[in-house]
Amino acid sequence: MPKVVLAGSGIAGLFAALNCADAGWDVCVITKQSLEESSTNYAQGGIAGILDKTNSEGKEIHIKDTLDAGDGYCDEKVVREVVDEAGDRIRDLINIGVNFQTDVEGNYDLIKEGGHSQKIILHSKDSTGKEIETALLSKAINHPRIELLSNHLALDLILEDRNSVDKKIIGLWVYDIEKEVVETFSADAVILATGGGGQLFSRTTNPSVSTADGMAMANRAGAELRDMEFVQFHPTSAAVNSDRPFLISEAVRGFGGVLMTSIEFKDWKDQDDIKNPEEFSFTKKYSDLGSLATRDILARAIDQELNFSGEDYVLLITEHLDKIELQKRFPTINDFLLKYGITLGVDPIPVVPAAHYFVGGISVNRLGQVINKSNGNVINNLYAIGEVACTGMHGANRLASNSLLEAVVYSSRASLSLNENISKYNVETTNELPDWRADGLENLVEHYSLIDDLKTLKMTMTRDVGVVRSNKRLNRALRRVNLIEKEVNMVWLSSVPTRSLIELRNMVQISLIIINSALNRIKNIGLHYNEDNFNH
């Protein structure tokens, strides 16, 4: 049987794994940590899409909202196709066993988030991602054709001929984290579904596995990366002393939550009518949509207000809302906040922006096939799906809840493309795969310098390549990250790989690409804002 190796076990990887396995492929899913650890598992708000295929008006609104959020930079054809396919793919998820919230009459409880002008988001309260991940995983674990390998980290793709302009993938090297060895995996096709790279920044909503490995690996194999300067910062991560920034879903603002500075909050509390908080919100200065404006606008607005006030956070106000309903609707957020003495529907929540989503990524065509940067053709046998890929759907800024949707649509397309051609792969191959270069490498003894490099990298990316950029900041970041790259490469060439070394190398590589892309984008658009650009 032909074999497809999939890197990543979030929504994109697992959905494709199930489709390919059903069509007769032997599927091996390798994943870096535990099977469920992924951004998917933490998704809160939901998945956007019109279920009723005949609802053309609704679809047109979804298209317009996506194009508007993308600031005129989306590939409209891609947007139209994804929005059109949304109903079918969401129904696939439902058939797999995903339970979306319904109302008392049994209809799906559709909600609204920032940038949306209609209620089209399906959710499972505030743990939509966990619901999806759990349903997909339980199906994949029980599938006879799917092998799932946790604690396996995809390190590099193996090309049939490294020197040829036409490229063909024949396998990949995988670091077994428990055994601490690099293994060689042969594959008739490889699908990268390794997610984004929020960990490049010191403040991120992403889990520790999101270190942009897939993008770095694909780039080393000759893939084109695009739109890398568009890093989305979510405006509302809880500014409490937690191990990892915790997301306060945009759906809380969709429910009526309002953003204010501490002074605005005091002014609002001092007047009699508590029903009109939005009138007091700084967000109105930045967009007519106020607290429900798109993320690019809100993250910048918060950044600016914090610069003015010198404070560390702004406040998300919910006390004017029905406390019981709010806590029922957002149980995960409520439980989290309670640990910090904050009660949803009572206390203001301190929030700040955090790196959340990579809009850019590996450039793919409409089947999820990876584009070769040297000639614009596809790299044979290589696909990229989900957050690791860039399809053009999100333009310069992603609309809320469009990521899970895009992931599931492109996952389906990539697997269909493989399944339709399965007979071509059904021939015995005798490729001798080269082993990983292990000779002469020494065990890494001193780790402190790498830890320092990682801290500096994250701090530099946050301060100088964050929500508001300038030429000075970007150039400083370039100088610093170039130095870190030299250090890390020296260690890399002489050391037995470890998980942290592999990740740091990838993070440095992708940081440099982001910085250079940001320097090259001389017009402000969507998520990219450089105060030295003439049109700011």
- Please name which of 518, 512, 501 lies closest in space to residue 453, comparing C-alpha atoms: 501
Stretch near ligand FAD under the rule CB under 6 A, chosen from 42-50, 74-82, 256-264, 463-471: 42-50
The dihedral over CA atoms of 386, 392, 398, 401, expressed in degrees to the nearest 10, equals -50
Closest approach of Cβ 460 to ligand FAD, in Å? 22
Q: Is 227 in the site for ligand FAD (CB under 6 A)?
A: no
Q: Is 98 in the site for ligand FAD (CB under 6 A)?
A: no
Contact yes or no for 353/529 (Cβ under 8 A): no
HEC profile for 374-421?
CCCCEEEEEEECHHHEECCCCCCCCCCCCHHHHHHHHHHHHHHHHHHC
Residue selected from 19, 66, 127, 128 as contacting ligand FAD according to rule CB under 6 A = 128
- Other C-beta atoms within 10 Å of 365: how many? 16
Comparing CB distances to ligand FAD, the nearer of 277 and 386 is 386
Within 109-254, residue ranges assigned H as helices are 128-141, 213-220, 250-254
Comparing CB distances to ligand FAD, the nearer of 109 and 319 is 109
- From ligand SIN, ligand FAD, none, which one binds at residue 129 (CB under 5 to 8 Å depending on kind)? ligand FAD
Contact yes or no for 75/390 (Cβ under 8 A): no
Comparing CB distances to ligand FAD, the nearer of 295 and 473 is 295
Active-site residue, 295 included: yes
Closest approach of Cβ 428 to ligand SIN, in Å? 44
Residues 6+ apart with CB under 8 A from 144: none
Residues 6+ apart with CB under 8 A from 241: 340
Residues forming contacts to ligand SIN in the complex (CB under 6 A) are 44-45, 249-251, 400-401, 403
Catalytic residue among 295, 329, 413, 473: 295
- The Cα–Cα gap between 33 and 42 comes to 15
Contact yes or no for 399/294 (Cβ under 8 A): yes
Each residue of 508-536: b (16+ CB within 10 Å) or e?
bbbbbbbbebbbebeebbbbbbbeebeee
x-or-dash string of contact with ligand FAD, 339-378, rule CB under 6 A: ------------------x---------------------
Q: Is 75 in the site for ligand FAD (CB under 6 A)?
A: no
- The Cα–Cα gap between 415 and 401 comes to 22
Residue 435: DSSP 8-state: P
Comparing CB distances to ligand FAD, the nearer of 66 and 403 is 403
Comparing CB distances to ligand FAD, the nearer of 261 and 411 is 411
- From ligand FAD, ligand SIN, none, which one binds at residue 182 (CB under 5 to 8 Å depending on kind)? none
Q: Is 126 in the site for ligand FAD (CB under 6 A)?
A: no
Is beta strand 26-30 parallel, antiparallel or unpaired with respect to 3-7?
Answer: parallel
Closest approach of Cβ 42 to ligand FAD, in Å? 4
Q: Is 399 in the site for ligand FAD (CB under 6 A)?
A: no
Each residue of 126-144: b (16+ CB within 10 Å) or e?
bbbbbbbbbbbbebbeeee
- Other C-beta atoms within 10 Å of 118: how many? 15
Comparing CB distances to ligand SIN, the nearer of 44 and 124 is 44
x-or-dash string of contact with ligand FAD, 133-162, rule CB under 6 A: --------------------xx--------
Binders of ligand FAD among residues 165 to 224 (CB under 6 A) are 193-195, 205-206, 209-210, 213
Comparing CB distances to ligand SIN, the nearer of 194 and 369 is 194
The type of residue at 355 is A
Q: Is 401 in the site for ligand FAD (CB under 6 A)?
A: yes
Query: Which residues contact ligand FAD by CB under 6 A?
Result: 7-13, 30-33, 37-40, 42-47, 128-129, 153-154, 193-195, 205-206, 209-210, 213, 247, 357, 386-388, 401-404, 407
> Catalytic residue numbers?
295
